[in-house]
Each structure stands twice: as structure tokens, then as C-alpha cells.
Amino acid sequence: MRILVCKDYNEMSKKAAQMIASQLTLKPDSVLGLATGSTPIGMYKELVSMYEEGLIDFSEVKTFNLDEYFELPKSNEQSYDYFMRENLFNHINIKEENIHIPNGMTDNIEKECKNYDEAIKEAGGVDIQVLGIGHNAHIGFNEPTINFERGTHLVNLKESTIEANARFFDSIDEVPKKAITMGTGSIFKSKKIMLLASGEGKAEAIYNTVYGKVLPEVPASILQFHNDIVLILDKDSASKL
Ligand code: GLP
């Protein structure tokens, strides 16, 4: 595991965007695994600026998002589809057919998950996966549980995750209780992984990810076994290391 400690959120976002930019320079048709949450917003802003300055091109890029709320329409401002368009896709030259986000409104969950995994495989796998981390060390929406899930699946969100994400909704009752997420196994298959964390609230999760036992109760801990992973942290999230 490589660990990069940045002085603040801005530096973290810039470093992360630079890594994506280098990836796109080396391989313009890269497959990017993307994350939502507040942490990567600064990175997306940087990427949009780089695109506007003509420094990067997304015309051949394919993206696969980690997760989506179940039964929340895409038009809902809290859906991850909406988030990705607002923060990135509406501002760059990515082709619509190259954008992939699990369909939370599916009426055939099994088929949706299977097709999502197939699409990742057909694209040649994820070249670089961006991850945030939950306070309980969840990645995507892989919550602490008793086994690592291999592929895309439907999950019941933990009460603590519902509470953490309630800040984006008008009331906690509006937060979906379920989500579709890539499995820990799918995430692990990415050629490179870049995990971003910011703020003291993530310090314990980061400590457990780096030094804890590798257990499905700490989903991000499995990343210790990956051979091309970088943690890009601000000082506060790195404060327990
Ligand atoms: C959600 C997302 C995760 C994200 C996490 C942390 O649960 N599914 O992908 O990493 O939130 O979000 P934040 O960056 O806002 O702390």
C-alpha cells in the first residue's frame, strides 16, 4: 500500500486528479471506476478544470460507478446518477454510451447485477478504481458483514450509513434503505486502486484499513492485499497512522 498524506482537502483532490490524468495520458481509452460521496467532489472539479484547459480528453474513456441507491429515480437529486452528471459527466466530452451506473430502478435485480458485471468484463476490467470510505470502512456500499461479496449485488444499508447519508436528504426517512453495489471482489479486481479520505471522522477507518486484520467486518481492510493501491489522505484522516 502506498500512502500519500496531503496537507489538506485541496491538495488531496489535486493529487487524485493528476493520477487520473496520468492514467488517461498513458491509456486514452481507460476504464475508470468512479465513486460518489462528498470526498471525490474536489477531484471531479479538478478534472473538469483540466478538461476545460485542454489537458485531458474523455472521448474514449469508459466509466463504471461503484453503486446506486435502490428504487431512487435517476431524476432524484440524491441519486448517484444525478450526482455524477452534476459533478462530472455534464462538463466533459464523455460519450453517453460509455457511462455505466447500476440501475437502481430495475425490476430484475439479479439480471441488472449480472449484466453490470458482464459489462465490466467486456470493457476489459477497471484500469483505475476511485474509492471513498465510509466511517465503518465500507467501500462502495459493501457494508461490514460476515463475508466478502464477489460481484455486484443488492445490499441493506447499515443504520450508521443511513444516518451518515441523511445529511444530503430532507429527512432521514427519505434515505433509501437498500443499494446496488459492485462487490468487494469486483473492486479488488481493478488493476489500480486509489482510495481518498478526508477529515478526522475517517481516521479510525483509515487506521483499520492499513493496520487492522483483514476481515469482512472492515471491508476496506482487504485492500491490504492489493498490489497496486494508493491511499491519498489529508492530514486529518491520516492522524491515527
Ligand atoms: C457512500 C458511498 C461511498 C462513499 C461513502 C463516504 O456510502 N456509497 O462510495 O465512499 O458514502 O462518503 P463521503 O465521502 O461523503 O464521506
**Cα(156) to centroid(ligand 1), Å:** 15
Q: Is the CB of 35 under 6 A from ligand 1?
A: yes
Asked if 32 and 63 count as a contact pair (C-beta separation under 8 A), the reply is: yes
Name residue 152's amino acid.
Answer: T
| Nearest atom of ligand 1 to the alpha carbon of 40 | 14
pLDDT at 197: 98
Domain ranges for the chain: 2-234
Residue range 206-234, pLDDT digits in tens: 999 999 999 999 999 999 999 999 999 99
The pLDDT score that the predictor gives to residue 74 is 95
Residue 240 is predicted with a pLDDT of: 98
Mean pLDDT over the full length of the chain:
97
pLDDT per residue as tens digits for the range 75-106: 999 999 999 999 999 999 999 999 999 999 99
What one-character-per-residue DSSP string does 63-92 give? EEESEEETT--TTSTTSHHHHHHHHTGGGS
d(CA 11, CA 42): 9
Question: What is the residue with the minimal CA distance to atom 10 of ligand 1?
Answer: 132
What gap in Å lies between CA 202 and CA 131, rounded to an integer?
13
H helix or E strand, kind and range, residue 131: strand 128-131
Distance between CA 165 and CA 118 in Å, rounded?
Answer: 29
For a mutational test of ligand 1's pocket, the pick from 12, 13, 36, i.e. the residue with the most ligand atoms closer than 8 A to its C-beta, is 36
Q: Tens of pLDDT along the chain (241 residues)?
A: 999 999 999 999 999 999 999 999 999 999 999 999 999 999 999 999 999 999 999 999 999 999 999 999 999 999 999 999 999 999 999 999 999 999 999 999 999 999 999 999 999 999 999 999 999 999 999 999 989 999 999 999 999 999 998 998 999 999 999 999 999 999 999 999 999 999 999 999 999 999 999 999 999 999 999 999 999 999 999 999 9
Query: The domain 2-234: what is its CATH number?
Result: 3.40.50.1360
Asked about 143 being catalytic, the answer comes back as yes
> Can you give the pLDDT at residue 185?
95
